Amino acid sequence: MAATRTQPAPIELPACGVIALESHHAEGFTMAASSHAFWEVFFVLAGRGVFRLGEREETCTPGHLILVPPGVAHCIQDAPGAPLSLSVLGIRADLVALDPDAARLPAGRLELTEGAVTQVRREWRRLWFDQSRPLPGAAALRVARALRLLGLLVRGQLMAEERGLTSKGRVRRYLAELEQRFFEVGSIDDEATRAGLSRRRFTQLVREQTGETWHERVTRLRMNHAQHLLATTRRSVTSIAFECGYDELSSFYRSFRRQMDMTPTEFREGSGLG
Strand partners, 5: 25
Q: How confident is the model over 84-109, as pLDDT tens digits?
A: 999 999 999 999 998 888 877 888 88
pLDDT at 130: 83
Task: Determine the Cα–Cα distance for residues 29 and 83; give it in Å rounded to an integer.
Answer: 8
pLDDT at 38: 94
- Residue 3 in any domain: the answer is no
For residue 244, what is the domain's CATH number? 1.10.10.60
For residue 91, what is the domain's CATH number? 2.60.120.280
Half-sphere exposure of 127 (CA within 13 A, CB side): 25
Average pLDDT over residues 42-65: 90
- Residue 143 in any domain: the answer is yes
H helix or E strand, kind and range, residue 94: helix 93-96
In the three-class reduction of DSSP (H, G, I as helix; E, B as strand; rest coil), residue 272 is classed as: coil
Distance linking the first and last C-alpha atoms of the chain: 80
Average pLDDT over residues 72-91: 93
Which residue, of 211, 226, 249, is where some domain finishes? 211
Half-sphere exposure of 157 (CA within 13 A, CB side): 20
State the pairing for strand pair 85-91/18-24.
antiparallel
Residue 8 has pLDDT above 90, yes or no: no
Residue 1 has pLDDT above 60, yes or no: no
Least confident of 32-41, 52-61, 152-161: 152-161
Task: Determine the Cα–Cα distance for residues 155 and 147; give it in Å rounded to an integer.
Answer: 13
In the three-class reduction of DSSP (H, G, I as helix; E, B as strand; rest coil), residue 106 is classed as: coil
Percentage of residues of the chain with pLDDT beyond 90: 55
Report the number of distinct structural domains present in the chain. 3
Distances (CA, A) of 255 to 201, 265, 270: 26, 14, 18
- Residue 7 in any domain: the answer is no
> 17, 95 in Cβ contact below 8 A?
yes
Least confident of 45-59, 90-104, 155-169, 244-258: 155-169
79 DSSP assignment: B
Claim to verify: residue 150 and residue 64 sit in the same structural domain: yes
The pTM of the full predicted model, rounded to 2 decimals, is: 0.59
- Residue 35 in any domain: the answer is yes
Least confident of 9-13, 15-19, 233-237: 9-13
